[in-house]
Every structure is written in structure tokens, then in C-alpha cells.
Amino acid sequence: MTTQPFKNVYLLPQTNQLTGLYTIIRDKNTTRPDFIFYSDRIIRLLVEEGLNHMPVVDKTVATHTGEDFHGVGFEGKICGVSIVRAGESMEQGLREVCRSVRIGKILIQRDEETALPKLYYEKLPEDIDNRYVFLLDPMLATGGSAIMATDVLIKRGVKPERIYFLNLIGCKEGIENYHRAHPDVKIVTGCIDRGLNEQRYLVPGLGDFGDRYYCI
């Protein structure tokens, strides 16, 4: 069962197993291969949890015993959209669970002059307005990039209630900022941290996710 500490926030069950995975990825002495392996395990759980909240329709199938099974089938198509660069780390986890899933990308960076987030690039599936969207970004800190990325999706016709924003770690401030802008988007997260430090890093956090996944 998923707990909901805030409206439209689905927090993964805080099991010992999950805490163990976070203990590994938060440890500054964890090697890059281990960081990738254990982050990928959490990402997989986030994708599965997102799918738990997708709408379904009744579906009956004939089994090999001659009896019917009354089950369900997913309604509608999904796609992933990663916020470059760190969000790209979550693409493989989505592909492993959803075969042949379409994946788009959005690049947002801080504008050197204004210090505000600026949209540099977007490449999205043509029919995105007809899909459910898993928006991928591992860290929900201030929420600035995710808010802008969600604005882009909505401008392209995606309904907010069809967006699932998946992240490994969030914090109250980021969740509240994000939901002030996009209250109907569902956030699926694995952990809610204490807050942000002066450099806008999550605390206790894990440092720079992109650097640890791709570089160090």
C-alpha cells in the first residue's frame, strides 16, 4: 500500500528494503557502479508504483483451463519525458517495464543572466496529447525545472491529471512549489527529505545525482 503524505503525492512504502537501497545511494563512499545499480532498483520501483495508479478497464481473457479470467487492461498509451541530464538515468528503468515506450526529452538550464530556469530544447512524441506521461527527474529540490517542464507538456496538450512526475527524493518545499503550479499532477517519490541547504541541494540528500550517475 502506498502512503499519501500530501494530496496527489504517492510515497513508496518505507520498507527496510527501500531504506537499505537509499542508505547505499546516499553513502558518499558508494562507488559509481553501485550507485547506478541501486538507483536503478529504486527507479524500477517508482515506475511500477506509477503504473499502479494508471486507469484500467475491465478485461476478460480465456485461460488454458477453459475458464475465463476477469481481469483488467491498461487504458491508454504512455510515454516518458526525461528532464536532461539527470532524468535520462530513469529512461532505462521505464523501458524495462514498458516495452517499446516512446521517450521525449526536455532540456532546461539556469539562464546565466537572469539566474532563472530557461527552456533550451524539447523533443516530444507527436501524439503526446493523447498519452499518459511519466515525467522523469530524480531530485525534486526547488521544483523550478519540473514546473517549467510540466508547462511545456501542458502547452503541447497533455492533461495535467495524465502526468505522473517520478523522482527518487523530494522535499516539502519542492512538493509545495510544484503543486502550487500543477496541483493535479501526481508525484511519485521514494523519499521526502528534510529540506534544502544554501546551495539548493536536498538534505541529507545524496549530492549531485547526475554527477554521481554519469561522472564520478
211 an active-site residue?
yes
Residue range at the interface with ligand URA (CB under 6 A); choices 29-37, 48-56, 96-104, 205-213: 205-213
Distance of alpha carbon 123 from alpha carbon 136, whole angstroms: 14
Distance of CA 100 to the CA centre of its chain: 18
Distance of alpha carbon 128 from alpha carbon 122, whole angstroms: 12
Residue range at the interface with ligand URA (CB under 6 A); choices 29-37, 74-82, 128-136, 208-216: 208-216
* Active-site entry in 40, 41, 129, 208: 208
CA end-to-end span of the chain, whole Å? 35
Alpha-carbon separation of residue 61 from 68, 71, 72, 102, 146 (angstroms): 6, 8, 9, 27, 40
Residue range at the interface with ligand URA (CB under 6 A); choices 8-16, 34-42, 49-57, 197-205: 197-205
By beta-carbon proximity to ligand URA, the closer residue of 79 and 86 is: 86
At residue 134's C-alpha, the angle toward residues 48 and 177, to 5°, is 110
Q: Is residue 175 within the footprint of ligand URA (CB under 6 A)? A: no
Beta carbon of residue 58, minimum distance to ligand URA (angstroms, whole number): 42
Q: Map residues 105-144 to x or -, x wherever contact with ligand URA holds by CB under 6 A.
A: ----------------------------------x-x---
Strands 163-167, 9-11: pairing kind? unpaired
Q: Return the residues of window 139-158 that contact ligand URA according to CB under 6 A.
A: 139, 141
So which residues are the catalytic ones? Answer: 110, 114, 208, 211
